Amino acid sequence: MSNRRLRACLVAGATAAVLTACGGDDSARTNHLGYRDGTAPAEPISVLEGLTIYFFIPAAILLLVAALVWLPGMVRASRYRPGRGWTAAPLWFGGPPDPAAAVENAQTGDLVRGGASGDW
C-alpha cells in the first residue's frame, strides 16, 4: 500500500471515529454524565470530568489532526538544507525543450520584450 493511500485511509478512519463518537445515537437518551432528556442530574459534574470534556478531549483531537498534517513532512527529508550547496540538476521552467541548444543558437535581437504590447 502506498504512503498516500495509507495516509488517506488513516485520515478517513480518524474522521469516521471522531464523527461516530460525537454523533452516536443513544437509544436510552441518557449519557454517561447522567443527563436524561435534556435535564441535568441532581449533582454537578466534577472538575476532572469538566476538564476532560472541555479541554483534554478537544486538545487530543487537535493534536491528532496536527500530527496527521505535520508527520509526513517531518518523516520525508527535504532535498535542500540551508548552508549546503544545491546538488540537483538545473531546471529551466517554461523554457525551450533543449535549453543548451537554445542558448548556443541565440542571436542578438531575438529577445522578446514586455507583455500585453509592452516594451520594457
pLDDT in tens, 99-115: 788 878 877 665 666 56
Q: How far apart are CA 24 and CA 16, in angstroms?
A: 11
Q: Provide the pLDDT for residue 114.
A: 58
- Residue 60: alpha-carbon gap to chain centroid: 17
| Residue-range domain boundaries for the chain | 3-75
Q: Inform me whether the pLDDT recorded for 29 exceeds 60.
A: no
Are residues 45 and 33 in contact, defined by beta-carbon separation less than 8 angstroms? yes
Are residues 55 and 62 in contact, defined by beta-carbon separation less than 8 angstroms? no
